[in-house]
Structure 1
Amino acid sequence: MAPTPRPTPHLAVEPHAVSFSDKLNRLRAAVLGANDGLLSTAGLVMGVAAATTDRSAIWIAGIAGLSAGAISMAIGEYVSVSTQRDTEKSLIAKEARELAEDPEAEFTELVDLYTAKGLSEETARRVATELHAVDPLAAHLDAELGLDADELTNPVHAAVSSAVAFALGALLPLLAIVAPATVRVPVIAVLTVVGLALAGYVSARLGDADRRKAVRRLVLGGLAAMVVTYGIGLLLGTTVA
């Protein structure tokens, strides 16, 4: 009787682990989306601000960039995650079909998988037997594909999260437009650098990476992008004038 309850706690813990990993990935994607919104909008606003001091023109360009970027992010994420979800469903259906057609071969395959992970033949067979008695499909999805049928990616959630993250990141350079024309460009640059540094720090912390290196990469890349767009704005503004 002792081995019987063991699979239940294991299966109860597993969805939480998958869910935590999924939430971590969503949070990291949100940080990257906010960084994208911040940098692309800042570059756009800097370029227009270099060409003209007309606040209305800068506002229109910034809001248009925010809207287009958020919609583009949402559509791109929706299509990408929908494709991933379709693939996951296809793999689940294939595994269910294989279990129905040849359960013995699938059982042997599961034993081999656990043996390859370092378990003895006897232990691997016992684990496979207990898991098959509870939910064979879930056991194979986890061991073979690292999937959980109850934790599939959601394209709608991904699309909304990406759009919102992009929009929130874009708000920072947009707010700087209210600054007087004489200091507008420096204010945009400073706020953008602060936002990029924060995004770099948070993303590095989530990934347990070097914070300073991540911040340095984002800030230097952002400064380069703003210098280029500002230079293009100056050039075009002078040419048009």
Structure 2
Amino acid sequence: MFTGIIEAIGEVAAMERRGDDLRLRINSGALDLADLKLGDSVATNGVCLTVIDLPGDGYWADVSAETLTCSNYDQLKVGTRCNLEKAMTPTTRLGGHLVSGHVDGVGEVLSRWDEGRSVRFRICAPAALAKFIAAKGSITINGVSLTVNNVDGSEFELNIVPHTLQETTLQEMRGGSRLNLEVDVIARYLERLLQGEQAAEKQSGGLGRDFLAAHGFLGGGA
């Protein structure tokens, strides 16, 4: 797990195709590698990658075909800059929100504009993810934990403060940029719980949410 607070900006140093998969070498920039070992995880532009080699100035990691399909990794090239964060520990301060490093889909920047000293982005998410995105809720963009300002269907807006722009690759994002999105994991678990509850109600025919709503016990009664 991660927090969405970026520790350093790295760079793709090498790429090797392995069938449908990809092997990456990431130069880690200012990321502290002293406590990193083989098998550890590093969120790289929001994707949880497992370290398979430590050449000294960075790390090698394998990327599966599935990850290539559901992320913006198909646009990577040597020299691409990446947001980096090592996995959290039991004593890590949770400055952002709980981030799994499992990208849910790719969004697109529709527009970018200055607002005071901050920058606003309007982003379009895949339709299937829209129900998980809520105003004032959390979302992860290229590994960065951010607060959603408002939502309009599958589109949402973010306000990025100067410090976050300076310390992440979000400063490079423009209209048309494709971004790795991870919705709040709590929202996903809630949906799953509700699906299970609704299935149980239908199977038992008992006193469930649908029954109560149909008989006026839920909703805007007087």
TM-score (norm 2): 0.23
Would you tell me which structure has more strand in proportion to its own residues? 2
Would you tell me which structure has more helix in proportion to its own residues? 1
* Higher Rg: 1
TM-score (norm 1): 0.21
Highest relative contact order (Cα 8 Å, sep 6+), 1 or 2? 1
